[in-house]
Structure 1
Amino acid sequence: MSPHPTTGPLAATLLDLPAGSPGGSVELFLDLYTGDCPLIPARAFMLGPSSPGHRVPAGLDLLPVAGKCLEGPAFSRYVAALRKALAVAIDPAQIGVLHLQHLAFGATPALIRALPMHPRIALVHGTDLIFAEAHRDQLQVLRETARAADAIVVPTGAMADHLLKLAPQVDRRKITHIPWGIPDRLLTDPPPRPTPTFSNHLRLLYAGRLTAEKGVEALIKSLAPVPGVELSIAAPRAQFHGLAPLLQRAAGVRARYLGWLRRPQLWKAFTGHDVLVMPSTTLEAMGLVALEAQACGLPVLYQPVPGLSEALAASGVATDFTHSAALGRDLDRLRTSPGLLTAVRQSGYANAARYPLSATARSLTNLGRQLA
C-alpha cells in the first residue's frame, strides 16, 4: 500500500525525456508525481509519443515535441516548442509551484517561460552538472536557472559543492538538502531473499545505463583477470550490444545479459545475486539503485565518487574499479571473510531505511508551501 499523498500546492513539472527512458532520475520522477495516488499532486509531463508497448503511468501527460538537443539555434527552437506545448496544456491558475527537474536541459527554461509568475523549486541531478561541464549552452542554462530559482534542492552535499564550482554566484541560502528516497513499500515489504548457499563464485550485478560516466568499461577490464566471479548486466539492450566488442576482448569475464528490467523484476534480481557493483567514474546525485539494492538485502561494492560516498559511506564496500588488483582483493575478501557479506547486508538494510520516498515528498511539499 502506498503512503498517503501530501497535500500542498499543485506542481507543474516536466522531464524532457521520452516516456520509458532509463535512469534513476526518471524512476524518481515517476515515483513522486505519477500513479493513481501520486505522492506529490502535479501536472507531470514527459516527451511523447510513447514507444510501442510502453504503458504510460496514470497522471503522466506526453508532449509531442521533437528535436531535443543541447546547443546552438536548434536548442533555442526546441525550448520554444516546449514552451508553446506547455502553454497549451496547462491552466496557470491551477498551478501553485514549479518543480524544475534538472538545472539544465530544455524543460527547465521552457517551464519558466510558460509559467513566469510561479515560484520555482529546482532539483539538482548528476546529469545536469555533467552536461553543463561539457556544453557551454547547458552551463548557461544551469547558471540562469540557479539565479531564477527560489529554492535549489540537492540530494547530497556533494551535489551542492559541484554546483557551486560551476555557478559560484549562486546564493547559498537558496540551497536546501533533501535526500532522494526509495519506495516505502520496498522498505516495509522487500522481496524475500533465498537462504544463502556456499559457493566459490560471487554473483555480481550491474544495473543501470551503460554511458561512459557509469564506469562499466573499467569494471569489465578489471574483472577480466579476477577468478571466481560471474557478472550479470541489467541495462538497455542497445547499450549492452555496444559492449559486445569489449566483452569479447575480456575473455575472462563471464557475463550474462538480464535485459532492461522493470522495477519489480530488478528488485527480484537483487535477491539472486551476492553483490551490486557501482563503478561510476565521476559522480552520482545519490545512487538510488544502490539504496534499492540495500533494501533488498544486496551488499553494494562502489567507487567512492561524490554522492555515492555520502549516501553509502560505511554501509557499502568502497573499492577502486580502475585497478584490477585492488578490485580482486576486495572481491576475494567478500568471498572468503566469514560473516562479511552478512554484516554488509545488515548495514545496508539500516542505511536504506534512512531514505523513504515519503519523506522526500513531504519535504518537497513543505518547501512548496513556504514559497507558494
Structure 2
Amino acid sequence: MHVMIIAPEDLPIPPDRGGSVQIYVNHLYEALSQCDNVRVTLVSPGSKANRIRHPRGRHTHVIVHRSTPTEYWRRVRHMIRKRRPDIVQIENRPSRTLEIIRRFPEQRVILNLHSTTFLGARHITRQHARNVLTHAHGIVCNSRDLSETIREQMGLSQHWHPYVIYPGLTLPPTVRASHTDKRPHNPLRVLYVGRVIAQKGVHVAMDAVKLLASDMAVSFTIVGRTPPWEKAYRKALLKASADADIRFLGFVPPTELNDVYAEHDILVCPSQKHEAFGLVNIEAMSHGLPVVASQLGGIPEAIGDEAGILVPRFHRPSAFAQAIREIVVDGDTYRRYSQAAYARAAQFTWAASANHFAAVYEQIAKRS
C-alpha cells in the first residue's frame, strides 16, 4: 500500500530548525519504514529540491523547493496527480485537506491533527472545518482529549469517531539502558522545554522556582525560542530572572536535547491554555525526570497517575512550588517518581504508533 504523507509548508524535515510536527513526522516516517505492508512517500518543504531514497529501498522522502506556501501546495497537488497514492495523509492542515478532497474526489485522504490551532477562525471557517472533519476518509487525533475537544468545539455528533493514536518516543541506546537510581542534584535542577510564550506559562514556573529558592537551593533552565510577537514577554522574563539562578538556553536542536534532559531533575509544564498531548513530557520522563504539569487538556494522558504531579490550579506559582517540594521531599520519594516516569515513558513507542497507523490505512483502503 502506497501512503503519501504531506508535511506542513513551514519548516524542513529533518527538523534541524525544530518544530513539533516536523519532529513527529520524521519519527513516524522512520517507524513506518519498518512496516512490511506500507510504502511511504514523505513530502516536505526545503530550500532545495531533493529526492532521498530510504535505506530500506521502498520509501522515498521528496523535498519540495518552497518558494511560497501556495507554490508548495501546488507542487503537492501535482505529485498526488502523478503518483496516485492509495492514501494521502496531511499533517495538521485542515484547510489544505479540504482542498485536496475537493480536487481529488476519488482519493482517500486522512487528516492527522496535532492540535486545534488550525481549526481556528484565523485558518478556516467553522463550516469548512466541519466539512473536512466529516468528509475526510479518516481523522487521527494524538489524544482522547483532542478528539473530545474538537467534537465539542465543532458541534459534531457522538457518531463522529476519529482514530486516537498517541505519538511515540525514540531513545538513543544510552537512554534505553535501565535507570533505577536517579538522584536529584544539589542545587535541584528544574527544566522547562517549549516555546517561550505567555500561554505556556513560563512566568508561572519562574515564580514557582523563586518561591522554592527562599528555603532550598534550586536552579531553573529554560529551553526554547521566542517568536517575534512575544519579545516583550521574553524581556519581562529576563528582567524578572535577574535575582535568581535562572538561565535561558534558547533553541536547542532535537539531537542535543537528550543531554539537556539528562542533566536535570524535574520538568515543569505550566501550560495556561489547552495542550493536545505534550510530547515534551514523555521525552523528559524517558530520562527519569518526574513532571509537574498543568492538569489541562491531554497532558494527563501523557503523564498518567504516578510519573509526576498534575496541578489543578495551574495559574498559581505556589501550587507548582508545592508539587515540586512533594517530589523531592526525600530521596525515596524522588526515586519512586523517577522510576514511574521511566516506566510510563516506555509505553510510548514509535513502533506501536506506526503499527496503529498501518492498521488504519488497511481499514480505510478496504472501504468501497
TM interval, shorter chain, is 0.7 to 0.9
Tell me what 1:317 maps to.
309
Of residues 67, 76, 88, the one that matches 2:78 is 88
TM-score by length of 1: 0.80
User: Which position in structure 2 is the counterpart of 1:205?
Assistant: 191
Asked whether 1:147 is paired with 2:134, we answer: yes
- Does the 8 Å contact 1:221/1:250 carry over to 2? no
Cα distance, 1:162–1:82 mapped onto 2, change above 3 Å: same
Q: 1:121 to 1:111 in 2, by over 3 A?
A: same
2:224 corresponds to which residue?
Answer: 235
Q: Could you say which residue in structure 2 is the equivalent of 1:32?
A: 28
Structure 2 residue runs of 5 or longer lacking an equivalent are 55-59
Q: Which residue of 2 aligns with 1:71?
A: none
2: distance between equivalents of 1:29 and 1:358?
A: 13
> What CA distance in whole angstroms lies between the structure 2 residues aligned with 1:277 and 1:41?
39
- How many residue pairs get aligned? The number is 345
Question: Are the equivalent residues in 2 in contact too, given 1:191–1:296 (CA < 8 A)?
Answer: no
SS at match of 2:348: coil
1:127-179 Cα distance to aligned partner (Å, 9 max, x none): xx134345373544432220221121222211111111122235734412222
Using a 3 Å threshold, how does the CA distance of structure 1 residues 257 and 162 change in structure 2: closer, same or farther? same
Task: Say if 2:32 and 2:40, in contact at 8 Å, map to a contact too.
Answer: no
Whichever residue aligns with residue 30 of structure 1, its letter is N
Q: Which amino acid aligns with 1:317?
A: I
CA RMSD of aligned residues (A): 3.2
- How far residue 273 of structure 1 moved from its aligned partner, in angstroms, is 0.3
Q: Which of 93, 97, 100 is the matching residue for 2:90?
A: 100
Alpha-carbon contact 1:139-1:166 (below 8 Å) kept: no
Q: CA deviation at 1:360?
A: 0.8
Residues 82 and 200 of structure 1: CA distance in aligned 2, closer, same or farther (over 3 Å) = closer
Q: 1:335 aligns with which of 328, 336, 339?
A: 328
Q: Give identity over the alignment, percent.
A: 21
1:59-117 CA-to-partner distances (Å, cap 9, x unmatched) read: 4433344555xxxxxxxxx4xx444222333454441101121253x542344355432
Partner residue in 1 for 2:268: 277
Partners of 1:48 and 1:113 lie apart in 2 by 26
Distance (whole Å) between structure 1 residues aligned to residue 197 and residue 323 of structure 2? 25
Task: Tell me the equivalent position of 1:53.
Answer: none
Conservation of the 8 A alpha-carbon contact between 2:7 and 2:22: no
Q: 1:64 to 1:110 in 2, by over 3 A?
A: farther
Give the C-alpha shift of residue 338 in structure 1. 3.5
CA–CA separation in structure 2 for the residues paired with 1:286 and 1:270: 19
Q: Secondary structure at the match of 1:244?
A: helix
Counterpart of 1:72 in structure 2 is none
Q: Classify the secondary structure of the residue corresponding to 1:135.
A: coil
Bigger drift between 353-362 and 171-180 goes to: 171-180
Q: Which moved more, 1:290-299 or 1:136-145?
A: 136-145
- 2:294 corresponding residue in structure 1: 303
Gaps of 5+ in 1: 1-7, 51-55, 69-77
1:272-314 deviations in whole A, cap 9, x for unaligned? Answer: 1001111112222221111121112121111111100122121
* Residues 16-25 or 56-65, more deviating: 56-65
Q: Distance in 1 between matches of 2:22 and 2:265?
A: 26
The structure 2 residue matched to 1:225, chosen from 211, 218, 238, is 211
Identify which range, 32-41 or 281-290, moves more after superposition: 32-41
1: CA distance between counterparts of 2:184 and 2:158? 54
Alpha-carbon separation, structure 2, partners of 1:233 and 1:57 = 37
The superposition leaves residues 250-285 of structure 1 with CA deviations (integer Å, 9 ceiling, x where unpaired) of 434322233422333111211110011111122222
- Say which of 148, 152, 168 aligns to 1:165: 152
Stretch moving more, 186-195 or 83-92: 186-195
Structure 1 residues 285, 65: closer, same or farther in 2, change over 3 A?
A: same
